[in-house]
Amino acid sequence: MAIDGIDTVAVVVSDRHKSLAWYRDVLGLKVAYVAPGGGHWMELGAPRPHTRLHLCELPEEVEPGPTGVTLLTSDIHAEYERLRAKGVVFRSPPKQESWGEWLCAFVDPDGNEFDLKQPLDPALWKQ
């Protein structure tokens, strides 16, 4: 027996329908699944078996903060500028880390923090 991977990563949001629009229209993530009738379960991201983002609306207030989720791009500077032009708030501009990859942080409308990374070899991450 072994764990074969990660199916979804949940991000807590205040309004899953507004968040779905933001993640789709601003970040450009593809809508992968929405439960019939717009129910609780919503996923964005690549086709299976790749990991997807699950927008999880909870009835109680939750403190926003770092999600530990890192999104990949092959051109961090262009993506940084594209997202800033759409009003995305960044915690930091892209910076090349000591190990060679580029990294920066941004927040969604609920204050959830994500990292954006340009790997050393973006071609390895292409589908």
Confidence of residue 32 (pLDDT cuts 50, 70, 90): very high
The whole-number pLDDT of residue 58 equals: 82
- Identify the helix (H) or strand (E) that includes residue 80: helix 76-85
Phi, psi of 115 (to 5 degrees): -100, 150
Residue 28 pLDDT greater than 90, yes or no: yes
Render pLDDT for 35-54 as a digit per residue (tens, 0 to 9).
Answer: 888 778 899 998 888 889 99
Beta partners for 95?
103
% of the chain exceeding 90 in pLDDT: 64
Confidence of residue 96 (pLDDT cuts 50, 70, 90): very high
Phi, psi of 17 (to 5 degrees): -70, -45
Region 63-74 average pLDDT? 90
Residue 127 pLDDT greater than 60, yes or no: no
- Residue type (1 letter), 69: V
Q: What's the mean pLDDT when you consider all of the chain?
A: 90
The whole-number pLDDT of residue 120 equals: 86
Give the domains, in start order, of the chain with CATH numbers: 1-60 (3.10.180.10), 63-127 (3.10.180.10)
Phi, psi of 5 (to 5 degrees): 160, -170
Region 66-91 average pLDDT? 94
Helix (H, G, I), strand (E, B) or coil at 123: helix
Residue 79 pLDDT greater than 70, yes or no: yes
Distance CA 35, CA 4 (A): 25
